[in-house]
């Protein structure tokens, strides 16, 4: 009959009697380290298979001329040609500018409105839970649903959005198209993204506001600090790390934005709202330029990764202050 | 145990029921257990094909399964399937432009030997459909598909509005001629301008519906109907791949300007990204006087209780100053090279090629390309749109069918949409940029592109 030792007992045994410890390990069959590896190995294998291997494969493909619609052509190593093609392509730079403008405007609006909503929701008032749930609803919807839903709302002839604008401005509802006009379409995608993701920023800000201890405000009141002074000297500085976190999350997400914009405008009119993710999708899965699109994906990955790293360092500095 | 009695009884009944169904309901197909998957786009003719396919199952015992994908993702979905050597489809009704890539990449089974063995002759099919759907290289006897669904761009109009005396007299007073389906693009624009913003039965209506979709192929499949007739050519007929002066000739630029003028003057607001379905919606809801769309939808429109029957008329794509052509649509049916059921798939094609089956295909709402069907004396009277269809099939032109067609198409989508919808640059600049884009694609494909 074998004896099964509790880990604590095994630890005592190690200190007291080394020989007995070794036999205890043998009795258990597997060491803690082995068991840990057994648990971790499937996850690592999965990670390698679905993340690391494709990444390495993509890096390899980015140096080739592979085009899946012409896979009968011999695969050639083209060095940095794909990268230089992309970086010297004026269209790609225009797409990157459009993406940057979309990210900056949508994140800025989400942060301002989200923070304002968090300040409101942080107070106790009648119907607090109801209004919180209502505000959170848009972020619970799928981007595909949001895209289709807003497409209908923006329909010039029957869409309620145009009718509403018409009510306030007197313009005929069908005299403008939110998704079809060069001047309006970029703002349309900013508007819809802000509508959908402001609640998310609000939640992060709310967590920040709730983390400020009450005694700080009590001390400020003893010092007769005005509400404005309390906001500038306590609330804002103590929630800045949370705001920065929200900016980081939203900026990364919006840099990758595809589904909602694709449904709303398909990148149009012309190429006005063609974000870089749509360019990437078209190159990879419509034009089948696998080598070129792999290089573009790497450039985007490095850009986002680099920017996020710089930002995280700044965030850590703010937290240490 | 008593509480499980009901479960035992239900299970017994289910097993017995399944056995009875197997004996009497499953038929030959279930007994053989054979099944074929046919892939196509999700649209009206696909429903007709499902109906037609029941006869094949009855005769062969092979069960038919269908994979229909909406047009907007049809190319993405099935080209991805072919690229990845998937086994989803045994038979594929692939777009005409895919034929070059499918042949070069060996995605489809070459059908020459099979046609010879089964005495299926391509001479029995409408020539434009054989070149468009089956041959690669073009105009060579190398067949990769059987013409399955003949199609082209045509126009519908509100016959009831056109025939109203008040509208007719107002039109005559303004333009000095009778209001009738247009024969040229100038006439079409006049009629569209006449109807634009007019009130009919208390409702504001618009002149024309044309394709403007940006994402897949829409605006290119629309604009080519005007470009061809104004003098646009894909290449120098004597020097393949020489596009300079053909794609971007002064005449072609005038054609592009004409499409933009039509879009600006006479379409309903908000149709900045619209293709087949939006056109059908606009016409069915009584918004537009004339609609550009594929013939494939016309049987459904003719049956529509609100705008069909006597209220709808059809006309061939109008001519331009330099010719009279229309955009070819339609598809051929091919056997997918990676299929595990190639023999059964070929049996389907053999069955589908029979004149009687082709006749029924046309009657159900599909468009046969078999001469025996479309050249039959009673064919023009068999449907309200049959004469226009027949005429259109004689004047079709198709987009590039090169292996790199997807790149060529997306480049055209971008340049045309930029000019027509987003007001970017001039028509000449848009076409010059298109030549530049296409030259780059062909060079990547290893083709020699002469600049002059």
| Whole-Å CA distances, B347 to A164, A312, B23, B56, B334 | 59, 63, 26, 9, 12
Query: Given this model, what pLDDT does residue A10 score?
Result: 45
- Residue A295, pLDDT score: 98
Q: B335 - beta bridge partners?
A: B91
Query: Could you tell me the domains of chain B?
Result: 33-151+329-376 (3.40.190.10), 154-327+402-444 (3.40.190.10)
Strands B153-158 and B326-327: unpaired
pLDDT per position as a tens digit, B187-206: 999 999 999 999 999 999 99
User: What are the residues whose beta carbons fall under 8 Å from the beta carbon of B22, sequence distance 6 or more?
Assistant: B30
Looking at residue B449, its pLDDT comes to 87
Residues in chain B within 8 Å Cβ distance of A177: 269-270, 272
Assign residue A159 a region (left: φ > 0; alpha: ψ between -120 and 50; beta: otherwise). beta
**Distant-in-sequence, close-in-space partners of B154: CB < 8 Å, separation ≥ 6:** B292, B293, B294, B295, B298, B314, B315, B316, B317, B326, B385, B388, B389, B392
B410 has a chain A CB within 8 A of its CB: yes
Contacts of B79 in chain A (CB under 8 A): 69, 288
Residues in A touching B443 (Cβ below 8 Å)? none
The answer, yes or no, to whether residue B14 has pLDDT greater than 60, is: no
Mean predicted confidence (pLDDT) in B415-431:
97
Query: Which of B75, B273, B403 is nearest residue A268 as measured by Cβ atoms?
Result: B273
According to DSSP, residue B155 is labeled E
pLDDT at B26: 44
Residue B128 DSSP code: H
- Beta partners for residue B147, in sequence order: B332
- Does residue B101 carry a pLDDT above 60? yes
| Cα distances (angstroms) measured from residue B211 to each of A293, B262, B279, B421 | 29, 11, 8, 11
Residue in the structure block whose two tokens are 């879009």: B263
Report the pLDDT value the prediction gives residue A20, as an integer from 0 to 100.
56
Query: In this predicted model, which residue has the larger pLDDT, B270 or A1?
Result: B270
Task: Say if the Cβ atoms of B407 and A287 lie within 8 Å.
Answer: yes
| B216 to chain A: closest CA residue | A286
Whether residue B102 contacts residue B334, with contact meaning beta carbons closer than 8 Å, is answered with yes
Query: Which residues from chain A sit within 8 angstroms of residue B75, using beta carbons?
Result: 286
pLDDT band at A23 (very low <50, low <70, confident <90, very high): low
pLDDT, one tens digit per residue, over B143-185 is 999 999 999 999 999 999 999 999 999 999 999 999 999 999 9
The hierarchical CATH code for the domain A82-320 is 1.10.3720.10
Q: Which among B28-37, B76-85, B203-212 has the top mean pLDDT?
A: B203-212
Q: Tens of pLDDT along A126-178?
A: 888 999 999 999 999 999 999 999 999 999 888 999 999 999 999 988 889 99
Alpha helix ranges (H) inside B176-213: 185-195
The chain-wide mean pLDDT, for chain A, equals 90
Which residue of B406, B410, B411 is the best one to mutate when testing the A interface, meaning the one whose CB has the most A CBs within 10 A? B406
Considering just the CA atoms, what is the radius of gyration of chain B in Å? 24
Task: Give the C-alpha distances (Å, rounded to integers) separating A138 from A129, A185, A209, A250, B404.
Answer: 16, 21, 22, 15, 41
Q: What are the boundaries of each domain within chain A? A: 7-70, 82-320
Provide the pLDDT confidence category of residue B450 given band limits of 50, 70 and 90. Answer: confident
Helices (H), B176-287: 185-195, 218-230, 250-266, 276-284
Residues of A with CB under 8 A from a CB of B: 65, 67-73, 155-157, 174-177, 179-182, 262, 265-272, 282, 285-289
Closest listed residue to residue B253, CA positions, set B427, B399, B17, B29: B427
Residue B73, pLDDT score: 86
Tokens for A182, please give them. 């060069």
**Percent of chain B beyond pLDDT 90?**
88
| Minimum CA–CA partner of A278 in chain B | B215
d(CA B86, CA B109): 14
Residues in chain A closer than 8 A to B272 (CB atoms): 177, 179-181, 268-269
What is the pTM assigned to this prediction? 0.86
Q: Residue A77, SS3?
A: strand
Mean pLDDT of B99-120: 96
Determine the Cα–Cα distance for residues B62 and B34; give it in Å rounded to an integer: 5
| DSSP-assigned states of every residue in B342-361 | HHHHHHHHHHHTSHHHHHHH
């Amino acid at each position: 009959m074998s004896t099964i030792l509790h880990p604590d007992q095994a630890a005592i045994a190690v200190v007291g009697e080394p020989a007995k410890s070794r036999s205890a390990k043998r009795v258990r069959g597997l060491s803690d380290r082995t068991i840990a590896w057994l648990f971790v190995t499937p996850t690592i294998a999965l990670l390698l298979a679905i993340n690391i291997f494709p990444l390495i494969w993509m890096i390899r493909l980015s140096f080739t001329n592979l085009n899946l619609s012409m896979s009968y052509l011999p695969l050639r190593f083209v060095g940095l040609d794909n990268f230089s093609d992309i970086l010297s392509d004026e269209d790609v730079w225009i797409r990157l500018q459009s993406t940057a403008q979309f990210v900056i405007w949508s994140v800025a609006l989400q942060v301002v409105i989200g923070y304002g909503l968090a300040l409101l929701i942080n107070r106790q008032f009648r119907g607090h839970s109801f209004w919180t749930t209502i505000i959170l609803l848009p972020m619970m919807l799928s981007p595909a649903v949001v895209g289709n839903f807003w497409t209908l709302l923006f329909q010039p002839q029957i869409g309620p959005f145009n009718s509403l604008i018409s009510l306030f401005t007197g313009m005929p509802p069908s005299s403008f198209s939110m998704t079809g006009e060069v001047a309006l379409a970029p703002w349309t995608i900013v508007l819809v993204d802000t509508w959908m993701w402001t609640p998310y920023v609000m939640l992060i800000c709310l967590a920040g506001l709730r983390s400020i201890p009450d005694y700080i405000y009590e001390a400020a009141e003893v010092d007769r600090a005005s509400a404005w002074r309390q906001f500038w000297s306590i609330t804002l500085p103590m929630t800045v790390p949370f705001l920065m976190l929200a900016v980081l999350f939203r900026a990364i997400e919006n840099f990758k934005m595809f589904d909602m914009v694709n449904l709303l405008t398909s990148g149009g009119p012309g190429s006005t709202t063609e974000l870089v993710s749509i360019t990437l999708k078209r190159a990879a899965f419509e034009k089948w330029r696998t080598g070129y699109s792999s290089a573009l994906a790497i450039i985007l990955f490095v850009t986002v990764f680099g920017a996020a790293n710089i930002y995280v360092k700044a965030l850590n500095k703010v937290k240490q202050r | 145990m008593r509480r499980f009695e009901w479960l035992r009884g239900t299970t017994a009944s289910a097993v017995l029921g399944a056995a009875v169904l197997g004996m009497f309901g499953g038929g030959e197909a279930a007994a053989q257990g054979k099944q074929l998957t046919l892939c196509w786009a999700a649209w009206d003719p696909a429903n007709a094909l499902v109906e037609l396919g029941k006869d094949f199952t009855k005769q062969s015992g092979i069960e038919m399964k269908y994979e229909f994908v909406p047009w907007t993702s049809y190319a993405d979905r099935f080209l991805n399937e072919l690229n990845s050597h998937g086994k989803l489809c045994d038979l594929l009704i692939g777009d005409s432009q895919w034929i070059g890539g499918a042949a070069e990449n060996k995605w489809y089974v070459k059908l020459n030997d099979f046609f010879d063995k089964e005495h299926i002759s391509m001479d029995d099919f409408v020539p434009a459909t054989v070149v468009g759907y089956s041959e690669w290289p073009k105009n060579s006897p190398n067949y990769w598909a059987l013409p399955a669904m003949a199609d082209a761009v045509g126009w519908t109009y509100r016959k009831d509005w056109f025939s109203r005396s008040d509208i007719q007299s107002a039109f005559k007073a303004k333009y000095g001629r009778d209001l009738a389906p247009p024969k040229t693009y100038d006439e079409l624009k006049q009629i569209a301008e006449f109807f634009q913003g007019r009130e009919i039965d208390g409702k504001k209506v618009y002149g024309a519906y044309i394709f403007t979709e940006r994402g897949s192929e829409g605006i290119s499949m629309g604009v080519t109907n005007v470009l061809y007739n104004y003098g646009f050519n894909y290449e120098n007929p004597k020097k393949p791949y020489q596009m300079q002066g053909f794609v971007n000739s002064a005449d072609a630029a005038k054609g592009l300007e004409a499409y933009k003028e039509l879009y600006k003057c006479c379409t309903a607001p908000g149709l900045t990204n619209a293709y087949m379905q939006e056109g059908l919606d606009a016409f069915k809801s009584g918004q537009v006087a004339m609609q550009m769309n594929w013939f494939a939808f016309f049987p459904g429109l003719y049956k529509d209780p609100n705008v069909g029957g006597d209220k709808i008329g059809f006309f061939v794509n109008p001519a331009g100053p330099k010719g009279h052509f229309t955009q070819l649509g339609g598809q051929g049916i091919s056997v997918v090279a990676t299929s595990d059921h190639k023999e059964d798939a070929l049996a389907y094609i053999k069955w589908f090629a029979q004149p009687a089956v082709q006749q029924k295909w046309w009657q159900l709402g599909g468009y046969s390309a078999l001469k025996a069907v479309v050249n039959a004396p009673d064919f023009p009277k068999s449907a309200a749109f049959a004469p226009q269809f027949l005429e259109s099939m004689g004047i079709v032109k198709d987009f590039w069918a090169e292996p790199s067609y997807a790149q060529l198409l997306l480049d055209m989508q971008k340049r045309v949409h930029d000019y027509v919808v987003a007001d970017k640059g001039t028509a000449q600049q848009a076409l010059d940029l298109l030549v530049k884009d296409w030259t780059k694609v062909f060079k990547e494909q290893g083709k020699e592109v002469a600049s002059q």
